[in-house]
Amino acid sequence: DTEVTQTPKHLVMGMTNKKSLKCEQHMGHRAMYWYKQKAKKPPELMFVYSYEKLSINESVPSRFSPECPNSSLLNLHLHALQPEDSALYLCASSAQVEVRGVQFFGPGTRLTVL
């Protein structure tokens, strides 16, 4: 398996809802990432996990809570989001064996916050 998969593809939620995004890879990669992408903008890094530990948090609001249960899975828990959080949420992974390895992106979850 040489792909990063993400579920769900689309998600609509209210500001009081709690939901989770899921990302999975079976390439043996030990670095996983969450990005947020607004329309016509580049991906914006949110979190980096290295060997299942959070290594980078780009000052993301606490209403976004990442979790890495094992080396293949990455979750993003969402709670009390704002309409401006509507965006495409991309997961990516890269091998840990080399510095600055290639990042492979998942197809993303299109999130709409009402």
Partner 1 sequence: GENVEQHPSTLSVQEGDSAVIKCTYSDSASNYFPWYKQELGKRPQLIIDIRSNVGEKKDQRIAVTLNKTAKHFSLHITETQPEDSAVYFCAASSGAGSYQLTFGKGTKLSVIP
DSSP structure string for the chain: ---EEEE-SEEEE-TT-EEEEEEEE-S---EEEEEEE-TTS--EEEEEEETTEEEEE-S--TTEEEEEEETTEEEEEEES--GGG-EEEEEEEE-SSSTTPPPEE---EEEEE-
Q: Is 71 one of the binding residues for partner 1 (CB under 8 A)?
A: no
Beta carbons within 10 angstroms of residue 114's beta carbon: 10
Q: Is 54 one of the binding residues for partner 1 (CB under 8 A)?
A: no
Shortest distance (Å) from residue 22 CB to partner 1: 15
- Which stretch in 13-21, 64-72, 78-86, 103-111 sits in contact with partner 1 by CB under 8 A? 103-111
Per-residue binder mask for partner 1 (CB under 8 A), 21-40, x = binder: ----------x-x------x
Q: Is 48 one of the binding residues for partner 1 (CB under 8 A)?
A: yes
Identify any residues that bridge with 77 across adjacent strands, giving them in sequence order. Answer: 20, 65
Q: Is 108 one of the binding residues for partner 1 (CB under 8 A)?
A: yes
Single out the residue of 24, 74, 89, 106 in contact with partner 1 (rule: CB under 8 A).
Answer: 106
Q: Using CB under 8 A, list all residues that contact partner 1.
A: 31, 33, 40-43, 45, 48, 50, 56, 90, 94, 99-108
